[in-house]
Structure 1
Amino acid sequence: MANLLSVRCVASLRKSGINLRTAALGITKRNYSSQKGSSTEYVSQSDAPLRHHQKSLPRLPIPKLEDTVRRYLAAQRPLLDDDQFRITEKIAQDFQNGAGKQLQEELVAQDKNNTHTSYISGPWIDRYLSVRYSVMLTNPFMIFNPDPKPQYNEQIVRATNMVCSALRFMKTLRAGLQEPEVFHLNPTKSETDSFKGVVRCAPSFLSGPLDTSPFLRLFNTTRIPKRRRDELFTDEKARHLLVMSKGNMYVFDIVDRDGNSVKPAEIQSHLKYILSDPTPAAASPLGVLTSESRDVWAGLRDKLIAAGNAEDLQIVDSALFCLCLDDESMRDQIHLSHNMLHGDGCNRWYDKSFTVILTKDGQAGITFDHSWVDGLAMLCFQNEIFKDTTERPLVHPGPTAAAAVDSASAVRRLQFNLDDELEDGIKKVKENFDSIVSTLTIDAMEFKKGGKALLKKSKLSPDAVVQLAFQMGFLRQYGQTVAACESCSTAAFRHGRIDSIRPLTMQTQRCSHAFVFQSGQHSVEQLQAMLRECSTYHRQLIKEGTMGQGFDRHLFALRYLAESKSEALHSLYTDPSYAAINHAILETSTLTSPAMDFFGFAPYAPDGFGLTYSVFDDWIGCNVSSYPARNVHEFLQCVHKSLEDIFTVLEGKTLS
């Protein structure tokens, strides 16, 4: 009955204007929480505390097996010729009627015995922790917009304010005062005192914003390398901040023994002390070890512990978070992207739950380990930090009175015992790091001839149009359409994570060929109709994905269950077409926020593109990465041309 009531309440809340699809379109719009009370200890004091709604969230549904197979085959169709598809279809139907049916029954039974979580939560985090390649390039980055008051972008000023705001966020979170994350379709209806009053008064089992469980690992958490499978370590008792500068590591307390925040002026004094430290750049920077493959790093960590560094490693792992102060100014967006994604490898600890990075010229970003969290939760954090630092800064530019604190005593530089073997290991890892990042290319594009306003006026999904432009661009460059994957949040469900939307469809394939190779064979009206067909079907995929009806995670969970029982995998999972569809050449994600300038990540496939994009009212921005197998510069030129063609057709003009 509780689940039924929750579903009904969710439906009711939607009518009030709440968008429980979250970032389905990737267009994440949030009206920031109002500040209540005068306390400088909190970023907000909500009438409806963050965890109030957690029990009310509906459980992530397990799709019907026949629906998953149907959706899987629909996604496979544009990738396969007729003969290949007949083989894959036969295998999938055999799975549905045989091994898959048994696994489905076991998965449903298992889920009924674990009502506190979702069927995908455990397997999905296990997947992340079990990967053996480096996390360095799979950790996403998100760039803050500059502070609108230019003088507040000075490195020490902005770093201090961000530390203070992060600390206030943590205290708000742990005091249960953080406003629940709610995404609004119509803020004029739902971002109101009367609506909040309804939510506040609703019993926790009758209300339903977004899943808050990821925030439990936001602070004091580090991913620990282990052979075969990593571990997440959290120590909420720790009170110190980890700061990295020139590859050296420093710590100081930002919470006192009574749980009170250290004064902002003292934090600023400590950061000034660190930046003025005459200690040269670390000759053997330990941070670069976190860029290595997980098993190699695990072995080197064991050697570090054997050499007497266990206590200092514990200090690093338990720190509230990591702050990296870089001594380089940024030339442009490309330089900034490279710096935030990987930097020089020395001034980072990629295993921390999240890291705040400040360049010499005060540009700020966040990078985070993906195992415990997805982009939506980190965007919530970024929103709050940006709002708090820009509206309620605690330190200010210009001359300041000396803080009544001895930074030389309060700040400790960590010094590790390194023997010849460890120094040689660090040297080899740095060489490997340099070799890897030298192959990574990043480029960016701004399409200024139209955006969300015109697309919505044409009743088209902006997300669908950009995904179509990616397929058209790849077709124009390489002569084919390819497997693509777009992240889709299921955070409207308890312990929901993400699923995948498959943007390559029969509709997008037909439309891409019509625009790229057959434009003279179709009228403007016919091309417009194709665009509408693509948009309609893409919206359906978004709806299915955000409501827990995607096929990717379901098939993954069934496979995970079979492997956990040491069963031989059904031929569905060994079919070459299964491997091909999961080798996404176009790995994409989208977010938009007033706090964020842009974001990015490296390609997941060595012959793929890592695509992030944002659609604004009158322009579209993309940040794209690739390895040498692909030409990212040419690809973006093709995407730009594709968008030009789409907007030309929408304006009723014939393609030239």
Structure 2
Amino acid sequence: MASLLPVRCVASQRKSRINLRTALGITKQNYSSKKGSPLMHHQKSLPRLPIPKLEDTVRRYLAAQRPLLDGDQFRRTEKIAHAFQSGVGKRLQEELVAQDKNNTHTSYVSEPWLNWFLSIRYSTMLTNPFMVFNPDPKTEYNDQLVRATNMVCSAVRFMKTLQAGLQEPGVSHLNLTKSDTDDFQRVARWAPSFLSRPLDMSPFFRLFNSTRIPKRRVDELFTDEKARHLLVMRKGNMYVFDIVDRDGNSVTPAEVQSHLKYILSDPTPAAAFPLGVLTSENRDVWAGLRDKLIAAGNAEDLQIVDGALFCLSLDDDIMRDRIHLSHNMMHGDGCNRWFDKSITIILTKDGQASISHEHSWGDGLAVLVFQNEIFEETTERPLVHPGSAAAAAVDSASAVRRLQFNLDSELENGIKKAKENFDSLVSTLTIDAMEFKKGGKALLKKSKLSPDAVAQLAFQMGFLRQYGQTAVACETCSTAAFRHGRTDSIWSVTLQTQRCSHAFVFQPGRHSVEQLQAMLSECSTRHRQLIKEVIMGQGFDSHLLALEYLAHSEGEAVHGLFTDPAHTAIILDSSTLTSPAMDFAGFAPNTHDGFGLTYSIFDDWIGCTASSYPTRNVHEFLQCVHKSLEDIFTVLEGKTLG
């Protein structure tokens, strides 16, 4: 703000800045140190998400279906799609465009996407993504109490920075060497951005104090911005304490440490009827049980849970390996989680940490920004240290309250049944991981190939190698460069990837190295085109969802386009995330016939975490993916396949 101050002596300028910071309450205890534009600085200037032309969406949809169908199947799907385009689809498109013109504050996909998520009736806990933190490089700071205290304090500082409008907005840098710099950040608050694309920050208000509330047919989102307490879970028991005082200041790190130490030392046995497991139930079943909980006199305590800033789950387990860690962070034992909270920070006995987030309110962008800030601050500027004593004068026994719920026999039976259903479901889930160490981003870029295209090709090639089929493969792609944009899907199976996969898997000896290299280049070029279309708001998946939602809201019968067998469930459901704060991430498949894939591409290696149910063999699949990557890199090195 210096350029807006009147000219005065240096001492006066310094005094004015100090007074301004004091007036805003910007203290080291309350706020993270920020230097760039305020969070919503670019929000009003964000472009609106365009509605694609209906004929373009139909064309792209059919292009995505072409490699998945035989001749007769494709002709049938083509006929259905063209009938939709010239008939009911044309009218729905006109209505969608008209509605969009009357709702310029948002995007045409915002309501359909939210409704889709909140209408899911099956258990949502396994589709909640988890993102595992890297360990603190200073190993002594991975002590459970020390790391939990630092993370809670950092999270509160992030929240208060966010509420004060001082959190920097997310930016997609188009040229990192020019725009991801301190100088650019200083300039960006005063001038339009020509070197980067600001991202939509609207989901951030649901990051804290928010919970998904189960309701019959369609759930609701609840946010209590006035709440000042943290929810802590241990052994299925639920504790709360204030982490912001009545004046709006964060409580001291020593107090937080004292309260968490008190909870970790609490001799109360594991909850006989852990309420958290109810959040893993079928949504309609959970809605009915919640109504019974309220009728039994638990409304006030449920609202305390719902309004908590976030949930901290303190687990007593020590992680054996990456697979054990994945299962723990995805679902745990079901008792020490509240899967409906917007975000949950999970800390194991040995200090392994993760963030799990409920998916309806937003996508990975806000959570990743949060995770990056937490990791940077706790590893570079920790507020408590190993061996530091908790505040001696703090009365944690009075400050910490363990919630106790009134349960009748019907509710107890409901909790028992929920636990049985939870155990049955997670027992069918298998998780495995793969690390390909023979090459990565550096060699792929040197070969002028898109690293993401090669990863997607390896998944398709691996499935073909394992099952002899081409499967529906979709990759999540953010549309957050638009106002209230969410995500869309890149349907990554193309005629080019189909041809290339068959050549590598079934006919390697029939093609020269040069021919195989040319096929890889064609796949990459086509994939880049698909990414560009989706990033620019020209994907077909969200558009079709919006049209279907509009028809449903008007009480129309579902058109054959949406019941066509070609409009099928995704088999290879994937998402890529890479961050200095994150070790790896994961989620469960959305269908019992699919794989849930998260992957990261580094300069010299590629990693993937995959999950499946018994219909698919995830171990064999990752072996096939690894073999596919080996073949691809062998060809890129100019060698023939054996």
Give 2:323's aligned residue. Answer: 334
Give 1:214's aligned residue. Answer: 203
The CA distance in 1 between the partners of 2:151 and 2:350, in whole Å, is 15
Quick one: higher RCO (CA 8 Å, sep 6+), 1 or 2? 1
- Please give the per-residue CA displacement for 1:128-178, whole angstroms capped at 9, x wherever unaligned: 011101111110100000011101000000000000000000000000100
Q: Any conservation in 2 of the 1:44–1:179 contact (CA below 8 Å)?
A: no
Q: Structure 1 residues 548-557 or 205-214, which shifts more?
A: 205-214
Give 2:14's aligned residue. Answer: none
Helix, strand or coil at the partner of 1:50? coil
Give 2:590's aligned residue. Answer: 604
The CA distance in 1 between the partners of 2:598 and 2:162, in whole Å, is 29
- Alignment equivalent of 1:443, drawn from 429, 432, 451: 432
The CA distance in 2 between the partners of 1:415 and 1:513, in whole Å, is 60
- Please give the per-residue CA displacement for 1:245-268, whole angstroms capped at 9, x wherever unaligned: 000000000000000000000000
- Alignment equivalent of 1:619, drawn from 601, 605, 611: 605
- Alignment equivalent of 2:64, drawn from 72, 75, 89: 75
- Please give the per-residue CA displacement for 1:464-523, whole angstroms capped at 9, x wherever unaligned: 101100111111110011001110000000000000001111110100000000000000
- Please give the per-residue CA displacement for 1:506-545, whole angstroms capped at 9, x wherever unaligned: 1101000000000000000000000000000000000001
Aligned partner letter, 1:624: A
Deviation at 1:595, TM superposition (A): 0.4
- Please give the per-residue CA displacement for 1:318-340, whole angstroms capped at 9, x wherever unaligned: 00000000000000000000000
Runs of 4+ in 1 over 3 A off after TM superposition: 203-208
- Alignment equivalent of 1:473, drawn from 462, 466, 470: 462
Aligned partner letter, 2:584: F
Give 1:591's aligned residue. Answer: 577
Give 2:215's aligned residue. Answer: 226
Deviation at 1:83, TM superposition (A): 1.1
Give 2:11's aligned residue. Answer: none
- Please give the per-residue CA displacement for 1:372-417, whole angstroms capped at 9, x wherever unaligned: 0101221111111100111111000014254321000000000001
Deviation at 1:64, TM superposition (A): 0.6
Alignment of 1:203-352 (within 5 A): 209-352=198-341
Deviation at 1:204, TM superposition (A): 10
- Alignment equivalent of 1:564, drawn from 530, 553, 565: 553
Q: In structure 2, list runs of 5 or more residues that go unmatched.
A: 1-25
Give 2:6's aligned residue. Answer: none
Helix, strand or coil at the partner of 2:488? strand
- Alignment equivalent of 1:650, drawn from 614, 632, 636: 636
- Please give the per-residue CA displacement for 1:605-624, whole angstroms capped at 9, x wherever unaligned: 10110011000000000000
Deviation at 1:570, TM superposition (A): 2.3
Give 2:517's aligned residue. Answer: 528
Distance 1:304 1:312, change over 3 A: same
Q: Any conservation in 2 of the 1:55–1:204 contact (CA below 8 Å)?
A: no
Give 1:455's aligned residue. Answer: 444
Q: Report the number of matched residues.
A: 617
The CA distance in 2 between the partners of 1:184 and 1:229, in whole Å, is 37
Q: Structure 1 residues 485-494 or 43-52, which shifts more?
A: 43-52
Give 1:629's aligned residue. Answer: 615
Deviation at 1:203, TM superposition (A): 6.6
The CA distance in 1 between the partners of 2:101 and 2:210, in whole Å, is 30
Q: Any conservation in 1 of the 2:35–2:185 contact (CA below 8 Å)?
A: no
Deviation at 1:86, TM superposition (A): 1.1
Helix, strand or coil at the partner of 2:262? helix
- Please give the per-residue CA displacement for 1:196-246, whole angstroms capped at 9, x wherever unaligned: 233211279999510000101110000000011111000010000000000
Aligned-residue CA RMSD (Å): 1.4
Give 2:74's aligned residue. Answer: 85
Give 1:197's aligned residue. Answer: 186
Q: Any conservation in 1 of the 2:29–2:252 contact (CA below 8 Å)?
A: no
- Alignment equivalent of 1:433, drawn from 400, 422, 425: 422
Give 1:512's aligned residue. Answer: 501
Distance 1:399 1:167, change over 3 A: closer
The CA distance in 1 between the partners of 2:179 and 2:142, in whole Å, is 34
Q: Percent identity?
A: 81
Distance 1:532 1:205, change over 3 A: closer
Give 1:9's aligned residue. Answer: none
Q: Any conservation in 2 of the 1:53–1:205 contact (CA below 8 Å)?
A: no
Aligned partner letter, 1:428: K
Give 2:124's aligned residue. Answer: 135
Give 1:159's aligned residue. Answer: 148
Give 2:40's aligned residue. Answer: 51
The CA distance in 2 between the partners of 1:646 and 1:208, in whole Å, is 33
Aligned partner letter, 1:187: L
Alignment of 1:494-513 (within 5 A): 494-513=483-502
Distance 1:401 1:127, change over 3 A: closer
The CA distance in 2 between the partners of 1:204 and 1:590, in whole Å, is 26
The CA distance in 2 between the partners of 1:191 and 1:646, in whole Å, is 33
- Alignment equivalent of 1:392, drawn from 381, 385, 389: 381
Q: Structure 1 residues 314-323 or 184-193, which shifts more?
A: 184-193
The CA distance in 1 between the partners of 2:536 and 2:214, in whole Å, is 34
Helix, strand or coil at the partner of 2:189? helix
Q: Any conservation in 2 of the 1:57–1:207 contact (CA below 8 Å)?
A: no
Helix, strand or coil at the partner of 2:293? helix
Deviation at 1:183, TM superposition (A): 2.6
Deviation at 1:115, TM superposition (A): 0.1
Q: Structure 1 residues 399-408 or 623-632, which shifts more?
A: 399-408
The CA distance in 1 between the partners of 2:180 and 2:75, in whole Å, is 51
Aligned partner letter, 1:631: N
Q: Any conservation in 1 of the 2:114–2:360 contact (CA below 8 Å)?
A: yes
The CA distance in 2 between the partners of 1:179 and 1:428, in whole Å, is 45
Helix, strand or coil at the partner of 2:126? coil
The CA distance in 2 between the partners of 1:521 and 1:486, in whole Å, is 31
Give 1:32's aligned residue. Answer: none
The CA distance in 1 between the partners of 2:79 and 2:465, in whole Å, is 33
Deviation at 1:598, TM superposition (A): 0.1
The CA distance in 2 between the partners of 1:573 and 1:74, in whole Å, is 16
Q: Any conservation in 1 of the 2:207–2:366 contact (CA below 8 Å)?
A: no
- Please give the per-residue CA displacement for 1:434-478, whole angstroms capped at 9, x wherever unaligned: 010000000000000000000000010111101100111111110
Helix, strand or coil at the partner of 1:51? coil
User: Is residue 61 of structure 1 aligned with residue 50 of structure 2?
Assistant: yes
Helix, strand or coil at the partner of 1:183? strand
Q: Any conservation in 2 of the 1:44–1:177 contact (CA below 8 Å)?
A: no
Alignment of 1:347-426 (within 5 A): 347-400=336-389, 402-426=391-415
The CA distance in 2 between the partners of 1:196 and 1:530, in whole Å, is 41
Q: Any conservation in 2 of the 1:53–1:208 contact (CA below 8 Å)?
A: no
- Alignment equivalent of 1:98, drawn from 73, 87, 91: 87
Distance 1:439 1:207, change over 3 A: closer
- Please give the per-residue CA displacement for 1:19-59, whole angstroms capped at 9, x wherever unaligned: xxxxxxxxxxxxxxxxxx97232223234101111001000
Q: Any conservation in 1 of the 2:175–2:195 contact (CA below 8 Å)?
A: no
The CA distance in 2 between the partners of 1:61 and 1:415, in whole Å, is 50
Q: Any conservation in 2 of the 1:56–1:208 contact (CA below 8 Å)?
A: no
